[in-house]
Amino acid sequence: MCLILLSFRAHRHFPLVVAANRDEHYSRPAAPAGFWDEHPEVYGGRDLEKGGTWMGIHCNGRFAAITNYRAGQPGPAAPRSRGELVSGFLTGNRAATDYFRGVAAAAAEFNPFSVIAGDLNALSFYSNQGGAITSITAGVHGLSNHLLDTPWPKVEKGIATVSETRPMDDPDAISNVLFGLLGDRTTVQDPLLPDTGITRQRERELSPPFIAGEHYGTRTSTVLLVNTHGDVFVHEKRYGPQGVALGEDARAFRLQAAGLTATPAG
């Protein structure tokens, strides 16, 4: 993933709202979102090269998503795939903070990453470039290829757009607004670009929410909503080189144990 926007316990009807773009090389094989054969209670896409995932949800309410952390030109591949951090949490039973302590002990085995994990009652954040394990407060947050809520233009634009959906109660209407954001290909003006150690031209190319490249770009756009009854609505759109649409799927299902310990804000 390269852009994750979420409303956590800040919406009257949906304690979790997620809008996310996964950016990756088009040559890397992946499976569309679905329930996993070996873990049929986990729903998410699959990286067919290493077997992990970039975002998923378990029918017990566990949720996780990851982004790469950009710091200069990519170095040599680390021994372990970052996607296993998400799949490991989804298929396990440890609380996010405890899970992250184990991840931190092996942080050097992964290329730079930032990851969100938890459930409908508590979400946590950890990056092997930031050190501390932190609790995510109720509200609207954004994550790109840096730390949580780093004010990059597409993160700030995304937070504002997600915030606009708080009065809405129709999943389709919310999805339409969020897909409008996720499909935005507007390049950021140079004075507002971050400096992550790559060329200015590459910063421009990576600055929109949606990246339409020849060899690398946005592969999937996903909107995930969970309402107060534990109903999950997931809509995934898939893309090829230059942002050509390849297909989409929408799915609804109910969590098995999604009880909230408190009423969401709003």
Given this model, what pLDDT does residue 257 score? 66
The pTM for the full model equals: 0.95
The residue with tokens 């507007």 is 186
- Evaluate if residue 264 carries a pLDDT over 60: no
> What is the average per-residue pLDDT within 206-229?
98
Given this model, what pLDDT does residue 235 score? 99
Question: What gap in Å lies between CA 197 and CA 208, rounded to an integer?
Answer: 18
- Evaluate if residue 175 carries a pLDDT over 60: yes
Question: What gap in Å lies between CA 180 and CA 53, rounded to an integer?
Answer: 24
> What is the average per-residue pLDDT within 208-224?
98
> What is the average per-residue pLDDT within 150-172?
98
Given this model, what pLDDT does residue 262 score? 40
pLDDT digits (tens, 9 = 90+) for 247-258: 999 999 999 965
Three-state SS string over 150-192 comes to CCCHHHHHHHHHHHHCCCCCCHHHHHHHHHHHHCCCCCCCHHH
| Statement: 3-254 belongs to CATH 3.60.60.10 | yes
